[in-house]
Amino acid sequence: MIVKLIKRYKTFKNKYVVQERRKYEYIVNRYYAHMIDPFFTKLVYDLGLSPNMVTIISCFTGICSGLAFFYNYWILGAFLLQLHHFLDGADGNLARLTGKCTPFGAKLDKISDQVVRFVVFIAVATVVNTPVWAKVLFMITIYLDLAIVHFFVAPFTKQNSLIRSRWKEWFLEKGIIPGFDIFTVFFLISVFSVIGRLETVVYLVIIFKNLDWLYRVWECWRTSRIQLGRARLYK
């Protein structure tokens, strides 16, 4: 019975997810969101929506999630945030399924993501029962991580092949990125909202997001040092 269900699910997924997204995925996406968003891909496909329309709907649900958190409707906010997450995966699936991948669509998706993140994180920082320093550090951590990855880590990795630690290679061999990404944060926001402990997410983000970008910077530094050492050795 279970084997048949798994087989049917794989057949269904292959029909609506026609192209592998990435070689590596964060664990929340790989084993949660991307197992559910094919159902939303089917829904929006059957409704005849365009990928850009799905992106706009996804953005709208994300903004509504932030407003729900702001007005202390935490369970509603948690539901809408996960709906945003699923639709955010469905728009790309739909674009690849229908052959409608465009530069405008990709740009719209990125803008949508940033708008939703700003609204949700501001709302969370506003309503949680934490000291002001924690609220401020929470927001600084989110955007410091974004800036460091965008302006330093990503450019470095495009020009250099990172030399990774064995423990990280072990995860990557299994297609998993060991990291504390934004969608992991969204998942935690939803879970802790439901149990009424949203303030816990603030401290988790402050700790693990900073550890995440610090480790990634260290990886870049370590790679550059090893490469420099090799270059001197062969001179």
- Can you give the pLDDT at residue 77? 97
Distance, in Å, from the CA atom of 109 to the CA atom of 104, rounded to the nearest integer, reads 9
113: its two tokens: 């993501």
Distance, in Å, from the CA atom of 150 to the CA atom of 52, rounded to the nearest integer, reads 24
Residues spanned by the domain of 161: 2-233
Q: What's the whole-model pTM score? A: 0.91
129: region left, alpha or beta (phi > 0 left; psi from -120 to 50 alpha): beta
CATH of the domain at 39: 1.20.120.1760
Domain count, the chain: 1
77 CB burial (10 A radius; 0-12, 13-18, 19+) = buried
**What does the pLDDT profile of the chain (235 residues) look like in tens digits?**
788 888 888 888 888 888 777 788 999 998 999 999 999 999 999 999 999 999 999 999 999 999 999 999 999 999 999 999 999 999 999 999 998 899 999 999 999 999 999 999 999 999 999 999 999 999 999 999 999 999 999 999 999 889 898 999 999 998 999 999 999 999 999 999 999 999 999 999 999 999 999 999 999 999 998 888 777 766 6
